[in-house]
Amino acid sequence: MGIIQDKLRELLVAQLEKEGIGDKRVLEAIGKIRRENFVIDEMKKYAYDNIALPLEGNQTISQPFTVAFMTQLLDVRKDDKVLEVGTGSGYQSAVIKELGADVYTVERIEQLYKKAKQTLTSIGYEIHFRCGDGTLGWKEFAPFDRIIVTAGAPQVPRELLLQLKPGGKLVIPVGSKSAQELFLVERSLQDSPDDEPLYSRAKYFDFKFVPLIGEEGWKEIN
């Protein structure tokens, strides 16, 4: 079974490269991680299909292409301090950790938080975990070199912008509850003359994520 899974993982990496993922470090990271460890039992046979899969709490583990594309946009460097909003299964956390980052991840759903922490810790990843409202970031450890949000927001949470280092990057899906566009937000190295932070934004194609719930996200799912 392990040999079959290894081959399926190789095929997935080749598919991602064919679909436009050009960052070799991201492809290598995905090639190392056993995605079957992050999906629910009845979905393990689909672990290396390039599709999103259901998790507990009406959440999902993102499509591998989405994980790879967002990680590529994030442009993680070794020893970067990275905040992830929405731990989910923990798969995205693992990919970022494989790139050599110091990962801080926040999950609002306690069931997912506990399971992801158990999964990642058992594999041997040293990651900082917190159960709470990720739209407020993690002030105690701010600022961050990189921030990634894995759920769809109505707008970019101001608190996350404030917790981004000068020169830092934030990747976040923004739009309605049913469809979003992916944004790459970069903070300038220099602030404005009145000491206000300056940001640039680039917009990418459409994605669909579960709603980002929290004080600076959607107030309710319905």
pLDDT per residue over 181-222, tens digit each? 999 999 999 888 888 899 999 999 888 899 999 999 998 755
Hey, what long-range contacts does 168-177 have (CB within 8 A, 24 or more apart)? 168/143, 168/144, 169/73, 169/74, 169/75, 169/145, 170/146, 171/70, 171/73, 171/74, 171/146, 171/147, 172/147, 172/148, 173/149, 173/207, 173/209, 176/152, 177/152, 177/211, 177/218, 177/221
| Cβ-Cβ contacts under 8 Å for 18 (sequence gap 6 or more) | none
- Please state which CATH number belongs to domain 50-207: 3.40.50.150
pLDDT of residue 192: 85
pLDDT of residue 89: 97
**Domain ranges for the chain:** 50-207
Stretch 145-166: mean pLDDT: 97
Examine the pLDDT at 178 and tell me if it is beyond 90: no
Query: Which of the residues are catalytic?
Result: 62
pLDDT tens sequence across 9-32: 999 999 999 999 999 999 999 999
Examine the pLDDT at 55 and tell me if it is beyond 90: yes
Token duo for residue 108: 């609002």
Within a 10 A sphere around the Cβ of 203, how many other Cβ atoms? 9
* pLDDT-above-70 percentage for the chain: 99
